[in-house]
Amino acid sequence: MEPVSRIPEEHFIAAVGFTTGAPAMLDWETPTPIAAVTTIGGALLACAERAPVTYYGYAQLPLADPTLSAWPLMLPAYPRGNRYGDYRSLVTQGPRLPPGRAASWTDGQRPYDFHQYTPPGRIAGLHGPVDRSIWVGTRAELEAWHAAGALPG
107 CB contacts (<8 Å, ≥6 apart)? Answer: none
**Is position 129 within any domain?**
yes
The tens digit of pLDDT for each residue in 38-73 reads 999 999 999 999 999 999 988 888 888 999 988 999
Could you list the residue range(s) of the whole structural domain that residue 93 is in?
A: 8-148
* CA 99 to chain CA mean position, Å: 15
**Is position 1 within any domain?**
no
Overall domain count for the chain: 1
Which domain CATH number covers 74? 3.20.20.80
* Whole-model pTM over 0.85: no
- Percentage of residues of the chain with pLDDT beyond 90: 25
**Is position 127 within any domain?**
yes
* Pure H helices in 58-150: 66-70, 87-90, 139-148
Tell me the CB-side half-sphere exposure of residue 16, using CA atoms within 13 A: 14
**Is position 131 within any domain?**
yes
3-state helix, strand, coil in the chain (%, to 5): 30, 15, 55
